[in-house]
Structure 1
C-alpha cells in the first residue's frame, strides 16, 4: 500500500530535513535564507496533494524547487544590480584586507558562481553524486553537467589564485567521474 503524501512529507522532513537545509545553505550562504528556501520548497512540493510520491521523488522535487528559487533570485538580483547605481551611492570602498578574506572564503566563491554551476559543484563535491546522478537530479544532460562543473571549477581556481599559478594536475582529479 502506498503512503499518503502527507506521510511522505513528514518522513522527508524528519529523515532529510537537515540535508536539505545544508544544500540550501551551500547555495545561499545564509542560514536564514536556507531555512526560508527549504520551507518554501516544501510548501511548493506538498502544497497540493500528489499521488504516488515516494521519499526519493519527494526529495528530488524539493531539491529542484530550492535550486529553481535560487536561480530565480539570482535573476532578480541581476536585474537590480543593473539599475541600483541609479538610486544609491556606496557608503565606503572595500579595503585590500576585505579582498584577501573574500578570496579565501570558498563557500562564498561557490555562491558567487552561476546558480547551475554552483548546484553542480555542490552536488558533485558535497553530495558526492556522479555526473549521471547530477544530471538526473537537475534534469539536464550529462554533457551540460560536465560543462557546468568545468566552468565552475575554472572560476573557483581563478578566484582562489588570480595570478594563475596552478599546481600540476595529478592523474585522478578529472571532472568526468
Structure 2
C-alpha cells in the first residue's frame, strides 16, 4: 500500500507542483513562504492516514491543506504582532513576583492548567480583560472563554484549597497585594 501513495506523491510533485505553487503564491506573502506552504501541505496530507486512489483526490487534499495552512500562519503572525505591539507600547516597570505565602502554590497550580485555561485566567483575572476582550485576544468564542475560565477556576480552587462558600469569612483568608496596587484575598472570584 505504501508504494501506492508514494507513486501518487511522486506524480503529484512532478505534474502539479507548479499549479500548487501558483495557488500558494496567491495566499502567501513571499515566494519562499509559498514553497513552504506547499511542502507543509504535502507533508500533512501524505503523513495522515488518508488513502488516495487518484491523483485528483490527492491534489484536492493538498490544495485544501495549502489554504488552511496559510490561514493558520496568518493567525499566528497576527497574534504574534499583537502580542509584540502590546509589549512594545506598555511602559516597562519592575514586576513584583513575590506573593506572601501564595507564590509557589499559585504558580504551580497555574502551571497545571491547560494553555488555554491558563491564558483565559490570566487575561480575565490578572490583566482584568472582559470576556469579549479575552475572546478577541485568543481567537475564541465568548462561550469558550467562559468555559475555560470556569473550568480553570474550579481546578484552581481544588488545588489551592480555596472556596467560594458564603459561610467562609473573607477575613480568615490571607490578603494578597497585586502588582497594580489592588488587593484580593485567596479564594476571591472577582
Classify the TM-score, shorter chain: 0.3 to 0.5
Greater relative contact order structure (CA < 8 Å, 6+ sep): 1
What TM-score, normalized to structure 1?
Answer: 0.45
What TM-score, normalized to structure 2?
Answer: 0.42
